[in-house]
Amino acid sequence: LQLMPIGSKFRFFIPPHLGYGNRQVSAQIGANSTLIFDVELIKF
């Protein structure tokens, strides 16, 4: 996040081994899921 300029938008892909791994978290997040986050830096 430190490299993001204010107002920028980034998409982060978190592989399963850095996320929840082989655990089923919910009906929406299954085991071994890649997590995807859309982040907009509004203010730092």
What pLDDT score was predicted for residue 33? 97
Does 1 score more than 80 pLDDT?
no
What pLDDT score was predicted for residue 23? 95
DSSP 1-44: -TTPPTT-EEEEEE-GGGTTTT---SSSS-TTPPEEEEEE----
CB 7 within 8 A of CB 39: no
pLDDT in tens, 8-30: 999 999 999 999 999 999 999 99
What pLDDT score was predicted for residue 9? 97
Its pTM stands at 0.79
